[in-house]
Copies of this chain bind each other. A is one copy, B any other.
Amino acid sequence: MSNVITFYDIPAASIKGGAWSPNTWKVRLALNIKGIPYKTIWLEYPEIEPTLLKLGAKPTDTKVDGRPHYTLPVIHDPSTNAIVSDSYAIAEYLDAQYPDTTPLFPKGSAALQAGFIRAFQDVALSNVRVILLPVTHGRLNPISQDYFRRTREANFGKKLEEFCPEGKEREETWELVRRGWSLVDGWFKKNRDGEDGFVTGREVTFVDVFIVSSLLWFKLILGEDSEAWKTILTWDEGRWGKLLEVFEKWQVVV
């Protein structure tokens, strides 16, 4: 196993299998769909920056103070010595480097997928963050919690407890989230000949990986027995639960 891809992820002991992050899930699902062997190295949040600096990985963003921001996922591919940051870029790298595996960007679909993902983020994810980030915080290992709280509170300019809506406001936020997913459901329904429920019908794409990673975040962070998750499974005639089921064979954590 020394010559396989190394995939860096963030652990949470409170979650079965340890994997919870929607961004790293995209890469795990991509690797599993393609059947490319890999090993996982788990890094707590405070370990990410020093490890990636040592590895020579690129930052994916700039912090509020102007310094580079190092994030996971990252992969190291010993066969090319490539070190790739960012789930989108990793999926593109895997498609280009392993052309005999299932493509996540089938010919002619990459531009359409990019626009779709932008719209998906806007309508299906932007409103839910204020609910899920505080819950995510509580699910992390203690050493990562401090880091997560500090960085998220810097982004929002508020304490986690302050930006998390409660009571009626929380219900209204969930209603906005539900309507956003319902819009996405409407886009899926445009495919009259859809069979397996992928965004293109029969062929899996990065869009499906993106959506399923978001659903896994919801499910794992909220808990599969929670009322909130059970409600999501009733949305849009059960479309999202069915999509998760189709992906079940690719959800293995190694």
Residues of A participating in the B interface, judged by any CB pair closer than 8 Å: 92, 105, 107-120, 122-123, 183-184, 186-194, 199-203, 207
Chain A binding surface SS class = helix
Q: Is the CB of A115 within 8 A of B108?
A: no
Q: Is the CB of B116 within 8 A of A191?
A: no
Residues on the B chain within 8 Å of A187, using CB: 111, 114-115, 118
**Which 7 residue pairs of A and B lie closest in terms of their CB atoms, listed nearest first?**
A115-B116, A114-B187, A108-B200, A119-B119, A110-B190, A112-B112, A118-B119
For the complex formed by this chain, how many copies does it contain in all? Answer: 2
Q: Taking CB as reference atom, which chain B residue is nearest A123?
A: B118
Q: Is the CB of B193 within 8 A of A105?
A: no
A110 to chain B, nearest CB (A): 4
| C-alpha gap A199/B112 in the complex (Å) | 7
| C-alpha gap A107/B110 in the complex (Å) | 15
Q: Taking CB as reference atom, which chain B residue is nearest A114?
A: B187
